[in-house]
Amino acid sequence: MNLIGSLDDKDKGFHAITSGPVLLIPEEWELGPGTRPEKWHFAWVDDTVIIRAHRADFDHDEFNFSALESNIDTHVFGNQGNIENLDGLSRFMNWEFNSIVQNHIRHLNNRLIYDSALIESFDVENPDAAMHVRLTALGSQMLREGRVTIAGMYQQMQLADVMGPLMKDIQFQMDLAMRMSGASDQMMSQITQDKRTATEVARVGHEGSARMAMHAMMMDIQGIRPLALRWVSNRQQYTDEDMYVRIAGRLVEEFGGDRIKVRPKDIHGNFDYLPKTGPEGGDPAEMADVMWKGLAAIMQNKELLAIPDKNGKILDLHEIIKETYRNSKVRNVEDFYRSIGGQPGQAPPAPNIKVLPDEEMARMVEAGNAIPMEGDGRRPMTGV
């Protein structure tokens, strides 16, 4: 960036401010009597003037950045990333493709061998849209005398497309790049060149996701977990007043609302962050199919609903149904539930039912005040 110049005489221009932590021994830097390594925070302007220098006051005593590597080799100082691993192959494919384009350009442009004494050189070297080429006086005279033909005045150079077969080579290298990165055609929403069954396509996508999950797990452990722990430490260290925070997930039911008041002393303690420990589960659509089959098995053996597990808990049929619909990508499951005034976990109150004698019911049917739900209407029916 060219940070120079100014708009007027009052504008002093731009100044680049850089900041960052440094691990140093204060006594060696004449910053104090300390003889042990300490983390200090510096800020300087235009690589000339230091405007900030003090010991970092974080309780976690760590640098405020994390290094994440997708390929780990403990024997080297810095490991190559995914882009660097693919850089050489990508450059070679670019060269091959550019060579193919250049070769096609040579085929599109006319390459002629001609005699300038017979054909006007200007017309050949500067063709117009219609490609009008004039003959010289000598060429016109020899053509009229029959001593030469138009085809004998020039010859098209024969060019061979030697770069065309490289397209197959580029496709092979693309396959190598996908193998190196773990990103298959299915994961990039691309149609594969070869024919595969739906099971094969799903398996390739799942295994590719598992490989990506392994990289995510390593980066989670290397960078995200230390970052989360630093956030927690900074929140504990610098929170000095009460505040209201919003609650998400199932904790809303536990706390009885989506807001809670947090005081500084409420967040003091030891906290941990559980990193990603493995690949995600299967496809939600496949999980929904498993859930539906399990639900059908439960409905055939309803006594399972009343048998608690070893922790004293029983199956919640409604939660199973909700989770099954969510796996089927139905997001508004709660919209299909209506409040009836009952308590959670209890059966709804029974409706007010009154059974009438057959004689009274028959009189109501004859008077047109009741309609039987079944039968021909002449046989007395027990109704409500």
Secondary structure of residue 117 in the 3-state scheme: coil
> Are 60 and 229 in contact, with CB atoms under 8 Å apart?
yes
pLDDT exceeds 80 at position 213: no
pLDDT band at 309 (very low <50, low <70, confident <90, very high): confident
Strand pairing class (154-156; 112-114) = antiparallel
Lowest mean pLDDT of 169-173, 303-307, 318-322, 347-351, name the range: 347-351
pLDDT band at 204 (very low <50, low <70, confident <90, very high): low
Start-to-end CA distance of the chain, whole Å, equals 86
Measured between alpha carbons, how far is 349 from 343 in angstroms, rounded to an integer?
10
pLDDT in tens, 10-22: 777 778 899 999 9
Q: Residue 206: what are its φ and ψ, rounded to 5°?
A: -65, -45
Which carries the bigger pLDDT value, residue 69 or residue 240? 240
pLDDT number for residue 201:
61
**CB-hemisphere CA count at 13 Å for 72?**
11
pLDDT exceeds 90 at position 43: yes
Specify which of 34-38, 139-143, 304-308 reaches the highest per-range mean pLDDT.
34-38
pLDDT number for residue 53:
92
pLDDT number for residue 302:
78
pLDDT number for residue 35:
93
pLDDT exceeds 90 at position 256: no
Q: Burial letters for 9-34: b for 16+ Cβ neighbours within 10 Å, e otherwise?
A: eeeeeeeeeeeeeeebebeeeeeeee
Q: Considering only CA atoms, which of 223, 227, 267, 222 is closest in space to residue 243?
A: 267
Q: For residue 42, give every residue at least 6 positions away whose Cβ sits within 8 Å of its Cβ, in sequence order, or none.
A: 19, 20, 21, 22, 50, 52, 53
pLDDT exceeds 90 at position 188: no
pLDDT number for residue 86:
84
Residue 227's identity, in one-letter code, is L
The mean per-residue pLDDT over the stretch 138-155 comes to 85
Residue 230's identity, in one-letter code, is R
pLDDT number for residue 381:
44
Angle, helices 82-108/166-181, rounded to nearest 10 degrees: 170
Specify which of 95-109, 243-257, 349-363 reaches the highest per-range mean pLDDT.
243-257
Q: What is the mean pLDDT of the chain?
A: 78
Measured between alpha carbons, how far is 225 from 221 in angstroms, rounded to an integer?
6
Residue 198's identity, in one-letter code, is A
pLDDT exceeds 70 at position 284: no
pLDDT exceeds 70 at position 255: yes
Measured between alpha carbons, how far is 117 from 160 in angstroms, rounded to an integer?
29
Distance of CA 201 to CAs 162, 171, 186, 211, Å?
Answer: 35, 19, 7, 16
Helices (H), the chain: 82-108, 121-125, 137-144, 150-153, 166-181, 198-219, 225-238, 251-255, 284-300, 317-327, 358-366
pLDDT in tens, 363-380: 888 888 877 765 544 444
pLDDT exceeds 60 at position 124: yes
Q: For residue 49, give every residue at least 6 positions away whose Cβ sits within 8 Å of its Cβ, in sequence order, or none.
A: none
pLDDT in tens, 330-360: 878 888 877 766 566 566 566 666 777 888 8
pLDDT exceeds 80 at position 324: yes
Question: What's the token pair of residue 82?
Answer: 């995914």
The mean per-residue pLDDT over the stretch 236-259 comes to 85
Percentage with pLDDT > 70 across the chain = 77
The mean per-residue pLDDT over the stretch 137-156 comes to 85
pLDDT number for residue 325:
83
DSSP 8-state assignment for residue 119: B
Q: What is the pTM of this model?
A: 0.49
Location of structure tokens 């960036």: 1
Bridge partners (DSSP) listed for residue 54: 41
